[in-house]
């Protein structure tokens, strides 16, 4: 017991020294009470610090997870945006191709319409000359016929007129052998004209049945112009 008292006496001497220096604590129990208060406050602060550190770590993990998720979402959105931009470029390219094709078709239709009009004007011109020069006096009656049917009727009349003319020239050559050299070119011309008119009828039918028939319309216009010039001769 004495040893224990001696051992603790040095602490008592230390506390007495502290009391001599510090006037706020007149007795040793007051000093010990202050120590216990400060120790409890320190322990409470340490607990609060530990809790705050745990909460901070949890918040840090959540923030990292949120940043990672948002980064992945932004990357996916950027990829989707790139795909959409590529689709838009493809659509724009397709639209430009369609516009060019539409312009080409409009130009083709305009050219075909012009050539068809020229063919029909040539047919009308030859038909009018045949009607004027023919003694039969046959005319095409429109009625309920379409433009194509009317044109075919006129071409048939032109063909019949040229056939009659060729027949007359051929019979004249047979009956008057004294002038074969003079009438032979006329017979040949009539025969050639008849063949060209047959080709013209087929070409005109093809031109009126489809607007894109440039070659047929051009051939019909050339053939009818040739026949018209020979009719004038």
Structure tokens at 198: 């047959």
Burial class of residue 201 (count of CB atoms within 10 Å of its CB; 0-12, 13-18, 19+): buried
Report pLDDT digits (tens) over 178-193.
544 444 454 454 455 4
- pLDDT tens by residue, 5-31: 667 677 777 777 777 776 676 777 777
Q: Which of 129, 150, 123, 125 is nearest to 220 (CA)?
A: 123
Segment 67-104, tens digit of pLDDT: 999 999 999 999 999 999 999 999 999 999 999 999 99
Residues 6 or more apart whose CB falls under 8 angstroms from that of 196 comprise 223, 226, 227
State the chain's mean pLDDT as an integer: 75
Q: How confident is the model at residue 220 (pLDDT cuts 50, 70, 90)?
A: very low
Q: Tokens 């020239």 belong to which residue?
A: 169
pTM attached to this predicted model: 0.39
Mean pLDDT of 194-222: 46
CA dihedral 103, 109, 112, 114 (to 10 degrees): -90
Find all residues with CB under 8 Å of 52, minimum gap 6, and list them.
Answer: none
Domain boundaries, the chain: 123-232
């Amino acid at each position: 017991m004495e040893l224990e008292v001696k051992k603790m006496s040095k602490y008592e001497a230390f506390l007495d020294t502290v009391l001599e220096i510090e006037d706020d604590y007149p007795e040793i129990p007051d000093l010990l009470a202050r120590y216990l208060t400060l120790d409890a406050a320190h322990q409470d602060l340490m607990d609060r610090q530990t809790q705050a550190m745990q909460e901070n770590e949890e918040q840090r993990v959540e923030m990292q997870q949120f940043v990672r998720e948002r980064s992945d979402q932004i990357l996916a959105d950027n990829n989707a945006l790139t795909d959409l931009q590529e689709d838009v470029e493809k659509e724009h390219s397709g639209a430009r191709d369609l516009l060019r094709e539409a312009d080409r078709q409009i130009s083709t239709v305009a050219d075909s319409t012009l050539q068809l009009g020229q063919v029909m004007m040539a047919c009308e011109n030859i038909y009018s000359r045949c009607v004027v020069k023919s003694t039969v006096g046959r005319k095409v009656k429109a009625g309920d016929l379409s433009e194509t049917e009317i044109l075919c009727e006129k071409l048939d009349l032109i063909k019949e007129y040229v056939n009659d003319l060729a027949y007359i020239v051929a019979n004249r050559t047979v009956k008057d052998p004294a002038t074969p050299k003079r009438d032979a070119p006329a017979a040949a011309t009539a025969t050639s004209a008849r063949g060209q008119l047959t080709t013209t009828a087929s070409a005109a039918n093809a031109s009126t049945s489809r607007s894109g028939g440039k070659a047929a319309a051009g051939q019909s216009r050339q053939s009818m112009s040739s026949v018209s010039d020979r009719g004038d001769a």
